[in-house]
């Protein structure tokens, strides 16, 4: 199962972290569901680590993977 940089569109990196005032950058992030862990490249605040999940990812690939894991 892959959730890599394809998940990030340039527009996503325009968001900034309100805590730190920094633009988000792609970074490897560990996500987990039902005991399964994956590393995915996601937009993240380079200073505090706040991660963004976009609508497209949440309702697209992520939903797909969730579904597969639920039926495992």
26 makes contact with another protein (CB under 8 A): no
20 makes contact with Zn ion (CB under 5 A): yes
Residue 64 interacting partner from another protein, Zn ion, none (CB closer than 5 to 8 Å by kind): none
Give backbone dihedrals phi and psi of 18, rounded to 5 degrees, phi first: -70, -25
In this structure, are residues 53 and 65 in contact, taking their beta carbons and an 8 Å threshold?
A: no
Residues 46-65 close enough to bind another protein by CB under 8 A: 46-53, 55, 57-59, 62-63, 65
17 makes contact with Zn ion (CB under 5 A): yes
């Amino acid at each position: 199962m892959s959730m890599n940089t394809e998940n990030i569109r340039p527009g996503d990196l325009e968001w900034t972290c309100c805590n730190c005032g920094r633009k988000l950058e792609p970074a490897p992030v560990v996500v987990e569901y039902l005991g399964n862990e994956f590393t995915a490249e996601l937009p993240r605040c380079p200073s505090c680590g706040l991660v963004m999940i976009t609508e497209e990812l949440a309702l697209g690939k992520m939903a797909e993977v969730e579904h597969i894991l639920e039926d495992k």
